[in-house]
Structure formats: C-alpha cells, structure tokens
Amino acid sequence: MKNISLLVILSIIIISCSSPLDKAYKQDTLEEDIVVLKKSISEEELKTLTGYIALKSFSGDDMLGKTYNDLLEEAKKLQEELRLQEEEQKILAEKAKIEEAEKIKRLGDALTVSFFDKGFSEYKYQKYITYKFVFENKTEKTMKAFTGEIKITDLFDKEIKSFSLTYDDGVPANSTKNWDAQTDYNQFIDEDVLLKNKDMEDLKIRWIPEKIIFSDNTTLE
C-alpha cells in the first residue's frame, strides 16, 4: 500500500509540475491550449508562438510531435536570424550610401556641372525644353568625356525632372566650357509642364557624376 501511495503522490507531483509548454501541439486543441498558455508565458512570447504556428500552418509544415516549447524555441531562433539579417542589410546599405557619397565628392572635386539658362523652343511641330550648361574642369588634365545624371528640383528639393547627361566633346584642363542641350516637351506630362513654367531662380540643379574619362584614357569613377 505504501508503495502504491508513493507512486500516486509522485504522479500527482509530476503532473502538477508539468508546464503547458511541454504539451504536444495539436490543431484540434490549439484554442484551448492557448487559454492555458496565457497563464504560463508572457504576452510577447504568446504572440511569437501563435504567429509562428500560423506561419507553419500556412506553409503546410509538419508540426506533428513537437511541443509548444519546441515551437516557441524555433520561433525565437527564427526571430534572431531575421534580426541579424536585418542588421547586415542596414550595415550594407549604410556602407553603399557612404561609398556613393564619397564617389560624388571625388568626381565633384574634379568637375562642376551647372546650368544657367532654361528656355522653350519648337521645331517642325516638335517642342523642347532647352538648357544652357557650363562645365568646369578643375583638374590638370583634359577631360575627353564624362557621364552622370542631372536632377532638377524646386527650392524645397522636390524633384521636378531628371535625365542622363553624357558629354564627349572635351573640356581642357583648368577651364570651363558652355554646352546647349534640350529635352523633349510633352504637354501631357506634369513634370514637363511644371519645368517649363518655372523661373530659373526657382530651380536648383543636382549633378550626380558617374564617370570621367581623361584624354590620356585614365578614368575617375
């Protein structure tokens, strides 16, 4: 009798000490199990667990035989992996941003691009917005060609129009050169209409250089 009583007591102790997390997951009892789990784990852990179960269910992954604790640990591990990936992406993006800024400064120290006049013209039923650019080569070598992007903004730095600029007619060392250019005008495109109607004093230009080729075929990029 004593042995039987001892076994009963031990069984009661084991059952009473068992955590709801040790219970195997079953779809049929999930709602009931969540009610019990609420009393044993934090709200954040419960949110993590239920979200992970929903994800696994949606993707058709087998959770047979896994306890809620197993699933919670898997969910936490996945969260940590995603957090580390996000950190790596942020670091990579910041590095790329710094490298791009350094490139723009490096090429900008060699070449300044600006425009000092904007107009409008029509030729053979085609309409154009016209520009007068000035290039300044601040190096000791003649530039054979360069390419980059022009961004025209309003006074609040809101972009109005952007376009590629490639010039291959040469700019002598330590000198400036003027250049006339044009872009097609379409009265049904808002940015074209806005740019046409803006006065020069209400516009700003941003030159984003990509590559410079010198007369000796060396490059800066």
CATH no. for residue 144?
2.60.40
Output the pLDDT for position 144. 97
Q: Does residue 131 or residue 123 have the better pLDDT?
A: 131
Q: Would you say residue 142 lies in a domain?
A: yes
Kindly give the interhelix angle for 43-59 and 68-110, rounded to the nearest 10 degrees. Answer: 90
111-123: strand order across its sheet = 111-123, 126-137, 175-184
Q: Would you say residue 16 lies in a domain?
A: no
Output the pLDDT for position 121. 95
Instruction: Give 216's Cβ-side CA count (13 Å radius).
Output: 6
Output the pLDDT for position 13. 42
Domains held by the chain: number = 1
Q: Does residue 9 or residue 190 have the better pLDDT?
A: 190
- Looking at residues 190-216, what average pLDDT do you find? 95
Cα gap 202→200, rounded to integer Å:
5
Q: Would you say residue 150 lies in a domain?
A: yes
Q: Would you say residue 144 lies in a domain?
A: yes
Q: For residue range 66-122, list pLDDT tens digits in order.
A: 999 999 999 999 999 999 999 999 999 999 999 999 999 999 999 999 999 999 999
Output the pLDDT for position 90. 94
Output the pLDDT for position 5. 52
Output the pLDDT for position 174. 97
- Residues above pLDDT 70, as percent of the chain: 92
Q: For residue range 124-174, list pLDDT tens digits in order.
A: 889 999 999 999 999 999 999 999 999 999 999 999 999 999 999 999 999
Q: Would you say residue 95 lies in a domain?
A: no
* 64 pLDDT above the threshold of 90: no
Cα gap 160→204, rounded to integer Å:
10
Q: Would you say residue 68 lies in a domain?
A: no
- Looking at residues 191-217, what average pLDDT do you find? 95
Give the predicted TM-score (pTM) of the model: 0.65
Q: 169 lies in which domain range?
A: 112-220
Q: Would you say residue 12 lies in a domain?
A: no
Q: Would you say residue 164 lies in a domain?
A: yes
* 16 pLDDT above the threshold of 60: no
Q: Please, are residues 111 and 136 in contact by the beta-carbon 8 Å criterion?
A: yes
Place of tokens 């007619």: 169
CA distance to 40, 153, 179, 193, 200, per residue, from 127 (Å): 73, 21, 19, 12, 19
Output the pLDDT for position 17. 46
Q: What is the DSSP string of the chain?
A: -HHHHHHHHHHHHHHHH--GGGSBP-GGGHHHHHHHHTTTS-HHHHHHHHHHHHHHHHHT---TT-BHHHHHHHHHHHHHHHHHHHHHHHHHHHHHHHHHHHHHHHHHHHEEEEEEEEEEEEETTEEEEEEEEEEEE-SSS-EEEEEEEEEEE-TT--EEEEEEEEE-S-B-TTEEEEEEEEEE--TTSHHHHHHHHS-GGG-EEEEEEEEEEETTS-EE-
